[in-house]
Structure 1
Amino acid sequence: MPDSGNLKAVDASQRPDSQSQVRVYAMPPGEDASPEEIVQGFLEALTSDDPEFAMARKYLTKDASRGWDPDLQTTVLENGPSTGSGSVGDDGESGRSFPLTGRKVATVDKEHAYQLDNAAYNQVVHLTQQDGSNGKEWRIDRVPPGVVLGQSDFQRIYWSVNKYYFATRSSGATGGGQEGLVADPVYIRQRIDPVTETVKALLDGPTTWLKQVVGTRFPTGTRLKADTRTLAPDDQGKLTVPLNAKADPIGQERCTEMAAQLLFTLQDLTSSGVEEVELQRRNGSQLCVLSKDRAESVASRRTADHPDFQYLIDDRRRLVRMPASAKGKVDPEPVQGRLGSGEQPLRSAAVSRDEERAAGVSLDGRSLYMGSLVSTGALGKPEVRSRAKSEKDGLSTPSWDGRGDLWVADRDPKRQRLLWLEQGAGDPLPVKISGLDGRIEAVRVSADAVRVALLVKKDGKTSLKIGRVERTGAKGEQPDISVVELRQAAPQMEEVTAMSWAGGSRLVVVGRESGGVQQMRYVQCDGSVPAGATLPGLTGVKEIAASEDERQPLVAHSDDGIVRLPTGAQWQTVVKEGTAPVYPG
């Protein structure tokens, strides 16, 4: 720490390192502060770690403070708000108006949901003079809604957390057995009691975009007990959560499902230290207790599955595998079954999440075959055929969801389709896609089976879209499947060339920004970019594969062959000749 030298002002929205552990402490208005100083002080106070924005309110009149709700929304601007020169208002010298302008990046709504928005931001801050302890003083009497700040400050202050909810029957994500949990990403202020805020966000229910396909076990209206101020685990990692009267009549089985939602949600808070959750009735009596070790037996996360192998197509066009835990160069071995024999040359493949079946696309891209990885039976006839005349068209790399169904896109220019095969067999069912504008180049379904990532090409450019999967129809009948509410997930990139799911709500993408070079980064399915999103560079990346088990290394097909990126290391070549690397899924 320097102990000498002059102080200098820092623009809170222009820090070069937004991820450094910088804390901003808001300052109160100075005596005889000018209107310009009041506006700037207020904007800087919005970037502080002040829990209730108490210091920011000191820049407002009492009436303005009462009417201002900072939780209404958070507007994220590309470079922070710009303030123009103030102008005299209609009320003469007693008022001043200052424009706030900028380019929006996103808005975080009252549900804590991140929503992309690239519109222009134009608001006005109005000031008036009021009586103070030292005579007249300037204060803001008209303030824009919510909070506004720059993107760098947002990444420093806010933290992406996955809330977890159960897939509903209509989403079809269970596939029998345990009901799966679905990650619902939201943003909270990471230094302002994150445990309590995360629990409150979970109790508020799923975000609007996802609520059609997920549900909560908490009864409607369940909140924290009225006098609860803060939640924190004890020395043994036990978190006690007192609930209001809505939860009083809940039975043991449902209570443990509620506790499982809480436990999985709090795992994203790496500093929370929560190992066990106890839910309490309003009178303080115990509803249930659930430990982290038992949570998987109550509710499953498909992303918790640990793959045994990584797979690729070798130089003999066979499906081969290598141990997921292998280090350095390895010699892949052909999979058991016909897809590993080479009798049907392949250009891509997908392995089911239980690693017992695989779907392979023929070298010409026109046929999809299904094969066992545990027996050597005949390959059989193709499950899907494309009429595409060119090899660059035809079938995409297929993708398995967490319930054992298979998805593949037919890129035939004359008959473009997204197809779904129940349990990977039978007649392929066309999937309806609302608002699709372009041709599907690639498809990846999330492990929870309620979201699908699509690379969509239009006018020579390819972008990443995320859609919600909805299923309708009577039980026992073939469902009517549709993908709705497509939204962009990598707006920073002008061209996306490869992608893969890399967690409950995270993807890894390969692409380039306008005028830039190829790069790899993580993105959230809501379009936000998490901290530390950029990955080490790699030359000529053509394909990328990630496991939804985030402990597993990335695998890529590049100019250096098949390479892997272990945690905390650099890219390592594992196979010199090979293409189409995939994890199960």
Structure 2
Amino acid sequence: MRRGTNLVAAAVTLACVVSLGACAQIPTSGPVRVGTEDVETQVDIAMLPQGPSLGADPNAIVLGFLGAAVAATTSPKEFQTAREFLTDEAVDTWDPEASVRVVREPPVPEPTETTAELGDADTVEIAVQATAIATLDSAGAYTEVGDPRKLDYRFTLTRAGGEWRISALDNGVLVPANLFANQYRATRLFFPAEGDIESLVPDLRWFPRQEWRRMAVEELLAGPPEWLQGATQSLVPEGTQLASPSISDTDDGEPVAVRLSEQISAVSADHRAVITEQISATLSEGAGRPVSVDLFSETNRLGVEETDVDLPATTAPAMALKDGRLYLIEDGRAVEHELPVDLSGIDPTALAVSPVTTPIVVRDGTDQIVSISSDGQSEPVPILQGPDLAAPSIDNLGTTWTSGGVGELKVYTTALEEFTVEPDWLKGRKVVSVSVAPEGSRIAIVSKTPTGTQVQVAGIVRDNQGTPVDLAKTPLAVGAPVGDVVEARWSGLTTLALLTRDDEGTSGVWTAGVGGSTGAGGQSRQLPGLTDVEQIAAGVTDEGILVVTKDGDLEHEETGVWQPVTEDVDLVAYPG
């Protein structure tokens, strides 16, 4: 067997090993339910690619190249071995870092003539078919393909000096989904919020494991992505670059030295402290453990003051409406809330709880939202009206969000003022779900047209008083392959819980990554076990997703298993 074939066989074997490592522990007690645990596999396994063997036929050359290109992201030799399969001209033009296509199955060349059958031919074309399910750009941004489809890749091979080499090919690499998480490291970058530099907003990226620290810091220096423009900011002076081409981790817990160009020395003390925390949080996320940072301007270590920064988190328990009373969901059980409510005369169809204690609001039917916690009021107070209002969401400033007419959102502030937000990219779309992230800088929107639904996330642009005035001009698409979405809720720093419902009323619960999920392949995935869900609630918390079934059963996910909490529940919501 040729060495190139051995390499791909080893890659397939590795894929099986990595897949087995992602299995959750099997429960041995409790009700029979299907688990929902999403275990992230962070296995650093270096694959050592080998170059072409003498006399290898065109199929073996293409097969060996595909394996070497995939292995390059964990190999100290990077793409050197993959280039051995190319002609000198192709080496000069091929850009492996231009893009990454995540494919469903390992790409395999279509059978073609053997070297003997080719005779005196000097050129041959070989097709490789693969199903693309996601793309990764040069900045590490992951995008799922909404309609996975077969793609036909063509390699032109030329005989040079008696040996076949690839003379023409597309830029980028093809990575099988079951190897993706082993080759690329999920890393959250953190950017300061526009109105509060001590509030850090995450943006999930994927970088080759061999170079993830360097690339993560370089992308931090480049500033926020388009979908967070106006909601976050960069404190780094323009033109700042890495002064050292590598960032080395330490095994003894000592700070990691990050050496930047001299522009960083001009930054004010408070901004320098936040920049250091940005880098520390980003490197900690990628490493899966706390990483402290020493910041340098060229070779000079900079003094950095201590500062406290906040990451998004849901800090209060969920709340449920049951038998006309409010309950807190704590430690897997329902505890009656001390706030008395009077819901007589209204039809509660959705509940929203403020992250800052008040307000608590309820959607009355489908065309009115009322506050049930206003000071000095014993009865619900109407705050927003309109046809087909989405279930409300309340941000960290106490502003209530819902949908407006087609292409717009309605917001109601604590100053008792109503505003309309009309981003250009929502034109012609009907909003069916709105969910603001805990830090108040991001919003998840489900909208639909006659051709289908779409889940998008965008930064929230606010004025100096914190009033929402717009959304980022370019939203980020999330969960593109998931159809019939009716509700989206934040269920992690960069994860959404999605509720789907088909034409027959059958529901599904999914998790989708904002920038890819941290499981193998980065894809959205369905949580099996429940098909009769009426409502979901989620938060950036360890408590897991809550669901209310058609029969009023409240259940939550615990260590990968759906567990009952209480019965006869009407509505449930986490703060947010």
Classify the TM-score, shorter chain. 0.7 to 0.9
Relative distance call for 1:516 and 1:153 in structure 2 (3 A) is: farther
Output the amino acid matched with 1:505: T
CA RMSD of aligned residues (A): 3.5
Cα gap change, 1:485/1:528 in structure 2, threshold over 3 Å: closer, same or farther?
Answer: farther
Aligned to 1:231: 248
Match of 1:333 in 2: 336
Report if the CA contact (8 A) 1:358-1:371 is conserved. Answer: yes
Is it true that 1:400 corresponds to 2:394 in the alignment? yes
Q: Which residue of 2 aligns with 1:144?
A: 170
Which secondary structure does the structure 2 equivalent of 1:31 belong to? coil
Q: 1:516 to 1:523 in 2, by over 3 A?
A: farther
The aligned residue for residue 365 of structure 1 is 366
Aligned-partner SS, 1:203: helix
Equivalences for 1:109-120 in 2 at 5 Å?
109-117=137-145, 118=147
Asked if 1 retains the 8 angstrom alpha-carbon contact of 2:432 and 2:487, the reply is no
Structure 1 window deviating more from structure 2 (518-527 vs 79-88): it is 79-88
Does residue 574 (structure 1) correspond to residue 565 (structure 2)? The answer is: yes
Indicate the SS of the match to 1:76: strand
Deviations 1:379-426 (A, max 9, x none): 46411123x4xxxxx332100123332101257xxx785211123732
1:42 to 37, 58, 65: 65
Note the C-alpha offset of 1:350.
Answer: 0.7
What is the alpha-carbon distance in structure 1 between the residues aligned to residue 251 and residue 235 of structure 2? 25
Which residue is 1:157 aligned to?
183
Does the Cα contact within 8 Å between 2:456 and 2:478 map onto a contact in 1?
A: yes
Could you say what secondary structure the match of 1:194 adopts? helix
Per the TM alignment, residue 337 of structure 1 is displaced from its structure 2 partner at its CA by 4.7
Change over 3 Å in CA distance of 1:556–1:237 after alignment to 2? farther
Counterparts of 2:503 and 2:70 in 1: how far apart (Å)?
Answer: 30
Are 1:238 and 1:278, in contact at CA under 8 Å, matched by a contact in 2? Answer: yes
| TM-score, normalised relative to structure 2 | 0.82
1:167 is aligned, of 193, 211, 214, to 193
Query: How far apart are the structure 2 equivalents of 1:574 and 1:59?
Result: 59
Which residues of structure 1 form unaligned runs of 5+?
1-6, 169-173, 389-393
Residue 442 of structure 2: which of 437, 451, 454 is its match?
451
Aligned partner of residue 442 in structure 1, secondary structure: strand
* 2:227 matches 1:221: no
The change in CA–CA distance for 1:13 and 1:462 in structure 2 (over 3 A counts) is farther
One-letter code of the match for 1:377? Q
| Structure 1 residue identity aligned to 2:127 | P
Match 2:494 to one of 471, 492, 505? 505
Question: 1:349–1:335: structure 2 CA closer, same or farther, 3 Å change rule?
Answer: farther
- Tell me the residue number matched to 1:310: 318
Distance 1:516 1:559, change over 3 A: closer
The answer as to whether partners of 2:242 and 2:260 remain within 8 angstroms in 1 is yes
Cα deviation digits, residues 107-137 of structure 1 (max 9, x gap): 2111111234457644432222333xxxx22
Match for residue 354 of structure 1? Answer: 356
The share of aligned pairs that are identical, in percent, is 22
Distance 1:395 1:32 in 2: 68
Quick one: distance in 1 between partners of 2:90 and 2:445?
45
Runs of 5+ unmatched residues, structure 2: 1-5, 22-42
The match for 2:226 is 208
2:310 maps to 300
User: C-alpha deviations, 1:262-308, integer Å up to 9, x for none?
Assistant: 1222232244541x221012123334265xxx5xx2x322x13522x
Distance, in Å, in 2 between the alignment partners of 1:8 and 1:234 is: 31
C-alpha contact 2:430 2:449 (8 A) present in aligned 1:
yes
Counterpart of 1:28 (choices 51, 72, 88) is 51
Q: Distance in 2 between matches of 1:9 and 1:220?
A: 44
Aligned to 2:277: 260
1:93 to 2:121 alignment: yes
Letter in 2 for 1:540: D
Aligned to 1:321: 327
Q: CA 1:147/1:54 → structure 2, altered by over 3 Å: closer, same or farther?
A: same
Aligned-pair CA distance for 1:198: 2.5
Distance 1:460 1:285, change over 3 A: closer
- Alpha-carbon distance change, 583 to 197 in structure 1, aligned in 2, over 3 angstroms: same
SS state at 2:304 partner: strand
Counterpart of 1:78 in structure 2 is: 104
Measure, in 1, the Cα distance between the counterparts of 2:398 and 2:539: 16
**Corresponding residue for residue 426 of structure 1:** 417
CA shift in 2, pair 1:395/1:335, >3 Å: farther
CA distance, structure 2, for counterparts of residue 272 and residue 518 of structure 1: 37
Asked if 1:282 is matched to 2:298, the reply is yes
- What secondary structure does 1:192 align onto? helix
What is the distance in 1 between the residues matched to 2:7 and 2:126? 24
In the alignment, is residue 183 of structure 1 matched against residue 202 of structure 2? yes
1:124 is aligned, of 150, 154, 161, to: 154
Q: What is the identity, as a one-letter code, of the residue corresponding to 2:369?
A: L
Aligned to 2:212: 194
Give the corresponding residue for 1:171: none
The amino acid across from 1:523 in the alignment is A
What SS does the aligned partner of 1:565 have?
A: strand
Deviation track 1:482-528 (CA, whole Å, cap 9, x = no partner) reads 56434542222222243211123211123379999754332112365
Cα distance change of structure 1 residues 35 and 515 upon mapping to structure 2, 3 Å threshold = farther
Q: Is the 8 A contact 1:453 1:466 kept in 2?
A: yes
Shift of 1:578: 0.4
Secondary structure in 2 matching 1:522:
strand
Pair 1:564-2:556 in alignment: yes
Q: Deviations over 1:327-346 (max 9, x none)?
A: 3xx3431451546x667552
- 1:495 correspondence with 2:484: yes
1:231 partner amino acid: S
Residue equivalent to 2:26: none
Alignment partners' CA distance in 1, 2:466 and 2:215: 42
CA distance in structure 2 between the partners assigned to 1:419 and 1:230 by the alignment: 46
Instruction: Give, in angstroms, the shift of residue 35 of structure 1.
Output: 1.2
Count of aligned residue pairs for this structure pair: 535
SS of the residue corresponding to residue 218 of structure 2 reads: helix
Higher mean displacement: 101-110 or 35-44: 101-110
1:143 and 1:205 mapped to 2: Cα distance?
32
Residue of structure 1 in register with 2:529 after alignment: 537
SS in 2 for 1:542: strand
Instruction: State whether residues 409 and 441 of structure 1, in contact with CA within 8 Å, keep that contact through their aligned partners in structure 2.
Output: yes
- Secondary structure (helix, strand or coil) at the match of 1:43 reads helix
CA distance in 1, matches of 2:82, 2:47: 13
Q: Residues 86 and 96 of structure 1 are in contact (CA less than 8 Å); yes or no, is this contact kept in structure 2?
A: no
In 1, distance between residues paired with 2:465 and 2:288?
A: 45
Moved more, 575-584 or 178-187: 178-187
Matches of 1:61 and 1:350 in 2, distance apart?
A: 62
SS in 2 for 1:493: coil
Distance change (3 Å), C-alpha of 1:484 and 1:313: farther
Per-residue deviation at 1:434?
A: 2.2
Q: 1:529 to 1:402 in 2, by over 3 A?
A: same
Secondary structure class of the residue paired with 1:383 = strand
CA deviations on 1:36-86 (whole Å, 9 max, x unpaired) are 101000001122122422221221233422333222211223334453355
Structure having the larger proportion of residues in helix: 2
Which amino acid in 2 is paired with 1:321?
Y
Mapped contact 1:435–1:486 kept (Cα < 8 A) = no
Q: How far has the Cα of 1:218 moved from its partner?
A: 1.8
Q: Indicate if the aligned counterparts of 2:359 and 2:398 stay in contact, CA closer than 8 A.
A: no
CA contact (8 A) 1:406 1:424 kept: no
Letter in 2 for 1:128: T
